[in-house]
Amino acid sequence: MTEREMEDLLAQFPDDFFPGRGFKLIGRQQSMRGVGLFDLLFQDNRSRHWLIELKAVPLKITDIDQVMRYFEELCALHPEDNYVPCFVAPNIPRPVRLSLDGQGVEYQEIHLAEFLRISRERGIEPSSAAQTDVPGTTATKLALPAIDAPMHIANGSAVPNTKQESPFLLDKAYPFATVHGIGKEAEDIQKMTFPWKGHSWGRGSAVRRWHMTQLFREKGVLEQFYQQHWPRGITDGEREERHNLGVKELWDRMQSQ
């Protein structure tokens, strides 16, 4: 069974995987310009919006940063809504769980066997049907609308976008700072917390990126970081910095309320 087929099952039968939450699919395979593509967006029976990132392999700590960027962008676009970032993976090691707990990110382990069980019960044939057929059942192909191209959200509307852009990566920035003698300053940024009343935000990755950008610029190593670890920053760094600054200002406003 492929990751796409797992995502199809989550999208069409959320109650089978998340009983009691009343999930309704409101977004899928969409991206915010300059941020990237997210997997699934559900609304639950408490009107919260669950941003689900699916992994078909064991979850890694380095996976967390990307889903937080989607989360922060959605919260910046729609601050009136309550978003919940969440991972679904077959295996979430304990160190990763601890990191997710510390950052306010929900998670759920769903093993391949569970996907196969639900697929069989729903009479759906996965790509590995030869190994998963159940006698006495009639399998059908999973029928969900085809997505011709990824989408991005602009001014509240989804429009085609075939380019998925990579972000300024904090997991590269912190070691880079240590090598250049500013590890203490970077550590202080990494330890920053951003409580936001009424929201489930566990951290402000965009705010940290903004501070790291300012630190690198102040120390004269920003261009070197771009060249070594984020070449896109040479052309798109200013745009990302504006985004990060916008999130930082939003944090500041919410904290002052």
Which residue ranges form the domains of the chain, and what is each CATH number? 3-132 (3.40.1350.10), 170-256 (no CATH)
Distances (CA, A) of 153 to 34, 53, 215: 10, 17, 31
Pairing of β 49-54 and β 83-89: parallel
Question: Over the chain, what is the mean pLDDT?
Answer: 77
CA pair distance 20, 43, nearest whole angstrom: 12
Q: What is the DSSP letter of 162?
A: -
Catalogue the E-assigned strands of the chain.
24-32, 36-43, 49-54, 83-89, 106-109, 151-154, 157-160
Split at pLDDT 50, 70, 90, the class of 56 is very high
Q: For 11-23, how does the pLDDT look when each residue is reduced to its tens digit (9 = 90+)?
A: 999 999 998 889 9
Residue pair 83/67 in contact by the 8 Å Cβ criterion = no
CA pair distance 218, 216, nearest whole angstrom: 5
Q: Which two tokens stand for residue 164?
A: 């998925």
Contacts of 212 (CB under 8 A, 6+ apart): 168, 170, 173, 177, 186, 189
pLDDT at 247: 67
Q: Which two tokens stand for residue 118?
A: 């639900």
CA pair distance 106, 97, nearest whole angstrom: 9
pLDDT over 70 at 194, yes or no:
no
pLDDT at 52: 93
Q: Specify the higher pLDDT residue, 167 or 90.
A: 90
Nearest partner of 9 among 92, 102, 96, 88, judged by Cα: 88
CA pair distance 209, 143, nearest whole angstrom: 40
pLDDT over 90 at 181, yes or no:
yes
